[in-house]
Amino acid sequence: MNLSLPLFLLLVLSGVGRAADLPGPWQTLENCNWIEAKSNDGDSFHVRKGGQEYIFRLYYVDTPELKEMKLTDRTSDQAKYFKIFKRDLYLVSIEAKAFTRAMLTTPFQVQTRWEDAKGHSALPRHYAVITVQGRDLASLLVENGLARINGYPAPHPDGRSGKEVKAELKKLEGLAKEKKLGAWAYSKPKKM
């Protein structure tokens, strides 16, 4: 690496490139359980493993927000993605949360690299891949029209590249569009 001293110092002082900022290896938590919490939604929720509580945010997808008024830029982007009105987006957000809650009634697996997913809670939130009944939750949400494909294309714990995962999600999204599932049932083909 051939960095000038001032640039090197700037990177070190700003924390860019610190090993602590990089995600670690994949770790698997088996037999996890959903914890009911006010902030839970379709792609971010509280989880219990043994006596420990965590908050996890799904890799690869973004479900519509329950708090429509607080995240106007994000909800506008979500509505534009699905080509639906915000009032319909809110209905989809309720459906996405209910779907995730129903899927996670039985113990499930969490795979995480403890990558910071930011959040507004005292408890840290980390990105994760959730497997329930042998299926990836992010895929199930997209397959049912309840999430948009979004986010950093992280490599999957099964070895697939993030790009491969997103390509598979795109196929599932196409099927959900054809069947008019979830948000796609409200989708307006004309410009909004």
Q: Does residue 33 carry a pLDDT above 80?
A: yes
Give me the DSSP letters along 67-92.
-TTT-HHHHHHHHHHHT--HHHHHHH
- How many residues are recorded in the chain? 192
**pTM for the whole structure:** 0.85
Average pLDDT over residues 25-48: 96
Choice among 55-64, 82-91, 175-184 with the minimum mean pLDDT: 82-91
Query: What gap in Å lies between CA 89 and CA 82, rounded to an integer?
Result: 9
Domain 25-185 CATH class label: mainly beta
Whether residue 5 is predicted with pLDDT greater than 80 in this model: the reply is: no
Would you give the DSSP letter of residue 17?
Answer: T
Q: Are 66 and 93 in contact (CB under 8 A)?
A: yes
Distance CA 121, CA 14 (A): 24
Give the pLDDT confidence score for residue 21 in this predicted structure. 57
| pLDDT score, position 70 | 56
Q: Where are the domains of the chain?
A: 25-185
What is the pLDDT at residue 139?
98
Q: What is the mean pLDDT of the chain?
A: 87
Mean pLDDT of 144-159: 93
> How crowded is residue 87: how many other Cβ atoms within 10 Å of its Cβ?
10
Which tokens is 130 given? Answer: 């959730």
The predicted structure's pLDDT at residue 189 = 57
On the question of pLDDT at 18 being above 50, the answer is no
pLDDT at 60 over 70: yes
Which pLDDT band, with edges at 50, 70 and 90, does 153 fall under? Answer: confident
